[in-house]
Amino acid sequence: MLVTGGAGFIGTNFVHFTLAERPDVEVSVLDKLTYAGNLMSLADVADRINLVVGDVADAAVVNPLVAAADVVVHFAAESHNDNSLNDPSPFVHSNLVGTFTLLEAVRRYGVRYHHISTDEVYGDLALDDPAKFTPNTAYNPSSPYSSTKAGSDLLVRAWVRSFGIAATISNCSNNYGAYQHIEKFIPRQITNLIDGVKPKLYGAGTNIRDWIHVQDHNRGIWAIIDKGRIGETYLIGADCELNNREVVEVILELMGHHPSDYEHVSDRPGHDRRYAIDASKLRAETGWEPMFRDFKSGLANTIEWYRANEQWWRPQKAAVEANYAAKGQ
């Protein structure tokens, strides 16, 4: 198996999960090791994987790795909305050109391909809308990040239809868990509290996300690889809609603080209002169910990981907070 972006947040967890649950699988990792990739995340399994440092958009690197694989799982992506607003070019390069390069390789060598995407390709829902995203929801991306992910999904669908590649797509809701970069919402609040700094809440905190523990996401990916139908799109979500204020309040409570002990900061441009996933197709066709059904238990597990692994996140903290401070966030 070739795992692109295997030194990033979800990819790292997928590699650890695969090595633990599927010991017969030989894993190669391709990662560019940008700021979002961290070699420390793979340190304890370094002797069990083949790690290649390279660009997923570089055919000279990609082709021999794909030729040697039975399955490609494509996590590698630029994925921070705020960064995409500042400079869209890396998102076009990694998310569009990178996906094209992989698709041409799996087409050439006849390799099974699974494409990791996001619910952000569907845009957002009104806060009072009872609807959820389904595999048939029209794409309506709102940022350079989500538009390049939408474009990459459409490339996969076109290569399935035009060239007959064996591919599936999954669009997942917001992940949380170990190894997530501290620029992201949940780990930023956790590490701020560890440092005695109040959590930061965008605007009024009413924006809603549908949260899923990263391990449940990765179990869903394997369910699709094992049982999913070629050419199909599956949505992965754990029915855990919470607004940002509620998430901050749970973090504060679990870390021994008053739930209202946070600061409001300026909202980010184009902040999507609500995401919500209907994962019934995945459940019906594969039997997948989330293990972390209770957000508090999953979040407590995550908090303990950040407390126990300060050496992993500490080197990044000052630069992340300086970047947010410059934006008034």
Task: Give the C-alpha separation, 206 to 320, whole Å.
Answer: 24
Residue 324 has pLDDT above 90, yes or no: no
Q: What is the pLDDT of residue 7?
A: 97
User: Do 128 and 71 touch, CB atoms closer than 8 A?
Assistant: no
Q: Where does the pLDDT of residue 26 fall: very low under 50, low under 70, confident under 90, or very high at 90 and above?
A: very high
Burial of 246 (C-beta count, 10 Å sphere; 0-12/13-18/19+) = middle
DSSP annotation of 177 reads S
Q: In sequence order, which ranges of 2-58 are alpha helices (DSSP H)?
A: 9-21
Query: How big is the chain by its Cα radius of gyration, in Å?
Result: 19
Q: Does the annotation mark 120 as catalytic?
A: yes
Residue 305 tokens read as 């990981």
Task: Give the C-alpha separation, 275 to 146, whole Å.
Answer: 13
Beta-bridged to residue 167, according to DSSP, are 113
Residue 160 has pLDDT above 70, yes or no: yes
Q: What is the pLDDT of residue 36?
A: 82
More confident residue, 328 or 11: 11
Catalytic residue, from 78, 119, 183, 249: name it.
119
More confident residue, 127 or 83: 127
Residue 269 has pLDDT above 80, yes or no: no
Burial of 318 (C-beta count, 10 Å sphere; 0-12/13-18/19+) = exposed
Strongest mean pLDDT among 70-84, 119-133, 152-166, 199-213: 152-166
Domains and CATH numbers, the chain: 2-176+210-236 (3.40.50.720)
More confident residue, 80 or 259: 259
Q: What is the pLDDT of residue 79?
A: 73
Give pLDDT tens digits for 175-217: 999 999 999 999 999 999 999 999 989 888 999 999 999 999 9
Give pLDDT tens digits for 270-312: 677 899 999 999 999 999 999 998 999 999 999 999 999 999 9
Residue 74 has pLDDT above 80, yes or no: yes
Q: Does the annotation mark 262 as catalytic?
A: no
Catalytic residue, from 113, 122, 145, 179: name it.
145
Residue 91 has pLDDT above 90, yes or no: yes
Q: What is the DSSP string of 271-303?
A: ---B--B--HHHHHHH----S--SHHHHHHHHH
Q: What is the pLDDT of residue 270?
A: 65
Task: Give the C-alpha separation, 82 to 293, whole Å.
Answer: 29
Catalytic residue, from 120, 216, 278, 321: name it.
120
Give the global pTM. Answer: 0.94
Q: Among 31-40, 45-54, 108-117, which stretch is predicted with the lowest mean pLDDT?
A: 31-40
Residue 118 has pLDDT above 90, yes or no: yes
User: Do 83 and 61 touch, CB atoms closer than 8 A?
Assistant: no
Q: Does the annotation mark 195 as catalytic?
A: no
